[in-house]
Amino acid sequence: MKHYDLLVIGGVAAGMSAASQARRVDKNMSIGVFEKSEYVSYAACGMPYFIGEHIDDYTKLIAIDKDDFIKKRGIDIVTLAEVEHVDFSLKKVIINIGGSTSEYGYDKLVIATGARPFYPSFAGIDLPGVFMLRNLNDGLRIREFIQKNFPRSGVIIGGGFIGLEMAETLRELGISCTIVERMDSVAMTMDPEISEKITLKLKEFDVDIRTGAEVEKITAVENRLTVALKGGGGIETDFIIASVGVVPNTAFVKDTGLGMTDRGAIVINEKSETNIPGVYAAGDCATVKHLITGKDTYMPMGTTANKQGRVAGLQAAGVSDEVFRGIVGTQLVKVFDLEVAKTGFNEHDAEQAGIPVESASATWHDIAGYCPAAENIFVKLFINKDTRELIGGQTLGRQNAAQRINVVAAAITSRMKLEDFAYLDLGYAPPFAPVWDALLVAAQKLIRR
C-alpha cells in the first residue's frame, strides 16, 4: 500500500490549492492528488464563455497543466480516479482507478471533492440532448453538440446565475432561448428591483422567460425534445441545459463519523479542520462561516474553494496559525450588457436570519455626469436597524457597477456602521468616479436625520 504524507481527494480549485500550498511550505513531504475526471486545476466559471466561443481552446481554462504539477512541483496526480471509501481509523482510502481498486495510506487528508449537479426527479432528465453544466467535460459536450448539430433553440431549466450566463451565450450564438424557472422570478437571490431589471434585459434580447413554471417531464421524438410543464403546456426544443442547483459530492464518506450537515456538506472550522484529527475539507463539499450571522452555511463559490483549499494545505503542512474566517456572500454576474452584483443580505435574507433591516436605493452616474461616457448605476444598501452596521448591498449598471460591490463587502466584513460608510474617502477623478460615489449617495439616503 502506497503511503502519502498528504493525500488530497479532488483536483480542481480547492484540491490543487491545498496541494500547491503544502508543497510551497514543505519541499520534502510526499503529496498525492486523486481526481475523478481527467482534468485538474481548471476554471469552471469560464465554461459559458468557452461554449459561447469567446475562448477558442478549452486548455486556456486550465490554470496549471497536470504535468507541471508532477514534474515541477513534485506532486503525484492520478486522474480518472474515484475514491470509493475512506477508513479514518486506519488512515487509508480505497480508490477505483481504471476499474480496479487500490489502497493508499495517508498522514494528513484533504477532502476537496466539490459538488455535483442536482438531478431533478422528473422523467427524461437523462435523455440525449439534456445537459448539466458543472465540470469541464460538461462544457466540452455542450460545445461539441452545438457545433455538430447547429441547434436553433434551447431551453434552460433554472434561472440562477448559470442559467442567466447561458441564456446570453445561446443568444450570442443565434440560438433562441427559453428559461424555465419554478420560482416567481429569475435571479431570486437578488432584490426584486434588481431581478425585475434583469428580466427586462433578458426580454430585450429576446429570451423567453417562463416563471412560476415547474417541469413535469421531458420527452423525445426523433431529434426534438419537449419540456412538459405541470398544469399544461410544453416547449419544443433542440436541446436542454438543466441548472437547478448542486449538492455536496460526499456520498463516499457518509456514515463514517465525519461531521456533516443534513445536506451532506462537511462541517469545517476556520482552519478547514473537520471533527476528525488530521482530516481537512475545502470547497464546494464543505461548509463556510457566514460573517454576518457567525453560523456555518453552505454557499459553494470558486473564491471560497480557493481560500479554504489554501488554508487546508498550509495547515496540513504545519502552518497552524493560518485561517479563513468566512464569507459575506459576494457574487457577480454579467447579463448581456448589464453588470450585476450582490454581497451580504437583502431584506429577505435578513428576515430569515432574524435581523431587523432597513434599506435605501439610489440611481446615480458611475463617473462625472458631464463626461460623455457617463452611465447610471443602481445601488441598494441594507443595514442592521439596531446596530446600524452595513449588512448588504446590490449594484446594477451597464458599466463600472459590478466591482463597486467590493467596497460594500469590505465594509460588511469590518462591521462598518452606516454613518462611517457614508463618508468613506473613495477616489475621485472625472473619468473614474463622481465626487459623490453612487455607494455614498445611497448611504446618505439611508441615514435618518
Out of 45, 177, 285, 371, which one is annotated catalytic? Answer: 45
- For residues 318 and 108, is the Cβ–Cβ distance under 8 A? no
Q: Which of 236, 206, 203, 244 is nearest to 218 (CA)?
A: 236
DSSP H or E stretch at residue 145: helix 136-149
Grid cell for residue 66? 497536470
Quote the mean pLDDT of the chain: 96
Q: Which residue has the higher pLDDT, 294 or 65?
A: 294
Q: Which of 398, 427, 379 is nearest to 193 (CA)?
A: 379
Per-residue pLDDT, 54? 94
- Read off the pLDDT of residues 304-350 as tens digits, 9 standing for 90 and up: 999 999 999 999 999 999 999 999 999 999 999 999 999 999 999 99
Per-residue pLDDT, 66? 87
Per-residue pLDDT, 387? 97
Q: Is residue 177 among the annotated active site residues?
A: no
Is 257 buried (19+), middle (13-18) or exposed (0-12) by CB count in 10 A?
exposed
Reply yes or no on whether the pLDDT at 449 is more than 80.
no
CA–CA–CA angle 84, 268, 115 (5° rounding): 45
- Read off the pLDDT of residues 400-433 as tens digits, 9 standing for 90 and up: 999 999 999 999 999 999 999 999 999 999 999 9
Q: Which residue has the higher pLDDT, 112 or 119?
A: 112
Q: What is the mean pLDDT of residues 256-273?
A: 97
Q: What is the mean pLDDT of residues 260-268?
A: 97
- Read off the pLDDT of residues 162-219 as tens digits, 9 standing for 90 and up: 999 999 999 999 999 999 999 999 999 999 999 999 999 999 999 999 999 999 999 9
Per-residue pLDDT, 91? 98
- For residues 14 and 309, is the Cβ–Cβ distance under 8 A? yes
Distance CA 333, CA 202 (A): 13
- pLDDT above 90 covers a percentage of the chain that reads 95
Is 315 buried (19+), middle (13-18) or exposed (0-12) by CB count in 10 A?
buried
Grid cell for residue 114? 466539490
- Read off the pLDDT of residues 210-250 as tens digits, 9 standing for 90 and up: 999 999 999 999 889 999 999 888 999 999 999 999 999 99
**Three-state DSSP class for 249?**
coil
- 124-157 burial, b at 16+ Cβ within 10 Å, e below that, comes to bbeeebbbbbbbbebbeebbebbeeeebebbbbb
Residue position matching grid coordinates 435618518 = 448
DSSP 8-state class, residue 67: H
Grid cell for residue 121? 426527479
Residue position matching grid coordinates 428576515 = 351
Instruction: Give 68's pLDDT tier (boundaries 50, 70, 90).
Output: confident
